[in-house]
């Protein structure tokens, strides 16, 4: 049987990484100055980020994990680091990060760490979507001891990614696409994200 060689992630990324609370505080602090994460600054990005803060707050309060997912997470017996590439202005990240945070709270052996995409381009370039796009969020699940990748996931659930690509192909404008994406997330109530991560955990 041929075993696929797994990627080893540089441990230095963990030195630059934040936990979820620190990430949320960074976003809030920047917004007080009228700024956002990353080098690009604009009023529209600040507006997106404010909406994302509301989304994260809502999901933090309402997310409920599937019992089978909770069981799979609690059964992990070796230290893992869930490294996520993100930015505060990213709408998909706002929909997904609170769910990942809830997942990692299920087991003290799992640590959630977040890094910003635009200050870690060499990392995101190892995880391009369709080989071309620096789409986020991107989750990389690592063996904490070896930094060996167990699996990666993102930037969004498969069904939504297919819908997104269809809308792009049809030439829809970005505000319309964003509205469709967030409407999909609202109806899905994080279930697709949870099921896909569960499948990855079982397969890993």
pLDDT at residue 66 is higher than 60: yes
C-beta of residue 79 within 8 angstroms of C-beta of residue 109? yes
pLDDT at residue 185 is higher than 80: yes
| SS3 category, 114 | strand
Q: Return all residues near 197 (Cβ < 8 A) that are at least 6 apart.
A: 69, 100, 103, 139, 153
The residue extents of the domains of the chain are: 12-155+195-203
Q: Cα separation of 190 and 92, whole Å?
A: 11
pLDDT at residue 3 is higher than 50: no
pLDDT at residue 75 is higher than 50: yes
Question: What pLDDT score does 38 carry?
Answer: 97
Q: Return all residues near 124 (Cβ < 8 A) that are at least 6 apart.
A: 85, 117, 134, 136, 138
Question: What pLDDT score does 6 carry?
Answer: 82
* Model confidence band, residue 43 (pLDDT cutoffs 50, 70, 90): very high
What architecture does CATH give domain 12-155+195-203? 3-Layer(aba) Sandwich (3.40)
Question: What pLDDT score does 37 carry?
Answer: 98
C-beta of residue 149 within 8 angstroms of C-beta of residue 8? yes
Residue percentage of the chain with pLDDT more than 70: 98
């Amino acid at each position: 049987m041929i075993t696929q060689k797994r990627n080893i992630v540089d441990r230095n990324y963990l030195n630059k990484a934040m936990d979820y609370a620190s990430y949320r505080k960074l976003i809030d602090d920047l917004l007080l100055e009228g700024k956002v994460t990353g080098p690009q600054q604009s009023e529209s990005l600040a507006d997106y980020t404010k909406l994302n803060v509301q989304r994260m707050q809502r999901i933090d309060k309402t997310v409920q994990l599937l019992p089978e997912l909770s069981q799979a997470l609690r059964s992990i017996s070796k230290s893992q680091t869930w490294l996520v590439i993100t930015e505060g202005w990213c709408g998909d990240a706002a929909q997904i990060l609170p769910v990942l945070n809830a997942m990692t709270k299920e087991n003290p052996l799992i640590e959630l760490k977040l890094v910003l995409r635009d200050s870690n381009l060499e990392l995101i370039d190892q995880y391009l979507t369709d080989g071309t796009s620096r789409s986020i969020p991107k989750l990389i699940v690592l063996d904490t001891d070896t930094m060996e990748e167990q699996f990666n996931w993102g930037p969004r659930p498969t069904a939504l990614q297919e819908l997104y690509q269809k809308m792009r192909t049809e030439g829809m404008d970005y505000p319309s696409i964003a509205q469709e994406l967030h409407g999909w997330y609202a109806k899905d109530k994080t279930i697709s994200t949870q099921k896909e991560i569960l499948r990855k955990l079982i397969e890993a």
